[in-house]
Amino acid sequence: MPAAFIGHGSPMNALEDNRYTTAWRAFGQAVPRPRAILVVSAHWYINATAVTAMPRPRTIHDFYGFPRELFEVQYPAPGLPELVEEVSEAVKPTWVGADADSWGIDHGSWSVLRHAFPQADVPVVQLSINADKELDYHFVLGTKLAALRASGVLVLGSGNVVHNLGGVDPQRPDSGFDWAQRFDESARDVMQHDPSAVSRLLDHRDYRTAAPTPDHFIPLLYVAGLAAASGRRAEILVDGYAYGSLSMTAYTLDTTCPGADRGTGSAAGLPDGVPADGTNT
pLDDT for the residue 275: 53
Strand order in the sheet with 36-41: 124-126, 36-41, 153-159, 3-7, 250-253, 235-238
pLDDT for the residue 17: 94
Kindly report the pTM of this predicted structure.
0.96
Q: Which residues are paired to 97 by β-bridges? A: 50
| pLDDT tens-digit profile, the chain (281 residues) | 999 999 999 999 999 999 999 999 999 999 999 999 999 999 999 999 999 999 999 999 999 889 999 999 999 999 999 999 999 999 999 999 999 999 999 999 999 999 999 999 999 999 999 999 999 999 999 999 999 999 999 999 999 999 999 999 989 999 999 999 999 999 999 999 999 999 999 999 999 999 999 999 999 999 999 999 999 999 999 999 999 999 999 999 999 898 888 888 899 877 766 655 434 55
